[in-house]
Amino acid sequence: MALRVALVGIGKIALDQHVPAIAASPDWELVATVSRKGRVPGVPGFTSFEAMLAAHSEVQVVSLCLPPVPRFAPAEAALMAGRHVMLEKPPGATLAEVQALEALAAARGLTLYATWHSRMARAVAAAKGWLSGRRVLRARIDWREDVRKWHPGQTWVFEPGGMGVFDPGINALSILTEILPAPVHLTGAVLSFPANRQTPIAAELTFTGGVSAGFDWRQEGPQTWDIEVETAGGGRMALRMGGNVLEVDGHAEAGEADIMGEYPALYARMAALVRAGAREVDLAPMVHVADAMTLGRREVVEDFHF
């Protein structure tokens, strides 16, 4: 029988990815939404989370597509009401609030799934397999995109807790932490803050193990989502197009940046977790972001306007 889900925060990612992924899966049925303005045609819509829960006792799973700062309260309320919870990335505004949710879910025997959609990109599992058993000498992430294209008018990304360029950069870190055969930790960062904003628009990160990363939200034209790795013995691997194309020793597979397969894979994973009575909360990508905010040297750059 299909799992009955309520979607909360009907905005860009809910409409672009969650609604089509749920509609295409026999495992899922969308029975209600909660959003102040957003609606899904043909689905009962509420502005109050509590009113939705009261009206739809059949909801088993709550999937939260809100930005990170307003996400904790409905996540906690859903778990308190005995519902399983699926979190968009990054899983929260702080590490401690996600740990609190995990403890609550565990105490109540509920599923909590902190999703990382980029880990579901087509070539990530193959890259992890190729790196397994190899020694990494050097890895470089270049994640440069146009914030106006991907977050049109979304002022929350530049408010405290919005994470700035780490909102996309954490996708790269979610892949890095998935594929590296041994963990690394951050040793330094330079964070570029527009003079009129609270979060960085660019970041340069240095990690142990020869790993570094450059994130920039000011790239117009072609977008760059690359991870290049050199291993002992001379082997080279690259993941391009946001984890969708694997290149080994310079030979690339055909492919393009396309996240359409990622959300069906997330919902399949959530269905499996619920049926197994399991939880999956990996905070490793967010630890690197928190460390960058802790250690980072601040550089002020020109004002940013959408």
Residues in Cβ contact with 64 at an 8 Å cutoff, skipping those fewer than 6 apart: 8, 9, 71, 74, 75, 78, 85, 86, 87, 88
- Comparing CB distances to ligand NAP, the nearer of 24 and 300 is 24
Report the alpha-carbon angle 138-142-143, nearest 5. Answer: 140
Q: Which residues, at least 6 apart from 10, have a Cβ–Cβ distance to it below 8 Å?
A: 33, 34, 35, 37, 38, 39, 40, 45, 65
Closer residue to ligand NAP in complex, CB, 47/208: 47
Name residues contacting ligand NAP, limited to 159-198 (CB under 6 A): 167
Exactly one of 4, 12, 134, 218 binds ligand NAP (CB under 6 A); that residue is: 12
b/e per residue 124-162 (b: at least 16 CB within 10 A): bebbbebbeeeebeebebbbbbebeeebeebebbbeebb
Measured between alpha carbons, how far is 103 from 101 in angstroms, rounded to an integer?
5
CA atoms within 13 A on the CB side of 236: 9
* Nearest distance, CB of residue 92 and ligand NAP, angstroms: 10
Q: Which two tokens stand for residue 67?
A: 């930005």
Stretch that binds ligand NAP, among 62-70, 181-189, 216-224, 296-304 (CB under 6 A): 62-70
Residue 233 DSSP symbol: T
Asked if 117 interacts with ligand NAP (CB under 6 A), we say: yes
- Stretch of 32-40, 138-146, 195-203, 285-293 lying at the interface with ligand NAP (CB under 6 A): 32-40
Rounded Cα–Cα distance for residues 68 and 88 (Å): 8
Nearer to ligand NAP, 2 or 15 (CB): 15
Q: Which is nearer to ligand NAP, 253 or 256 (CB)?
A: 256
User: Which of the residues 12, 89, 128, 149 is marked catalytic?
Assistant: 89
Report the residue number, 156 or 304, with the smaller CB distance to ligand NAP. 156
Q: How far is the CB of 62 from ligand NAP (least distance, A)?
A: 14
| 305: contact with ligand NAP by CB under 6 A | no
Residue 154 binds ligand NAP (CB under 6 A)? yes
Tokens of 136: 């990494």
Catalytic site includes residue 89: yes
Of 5, 22, 27, 35, the residue at the interface with ligand NAP (CB under 6 A) is: 35
Which chain residues interact with ligand NAP by CB under 6 A? 9-14, 35-38, 65-68, 70, 88-89, 117, 150-151, 154, 156, 167
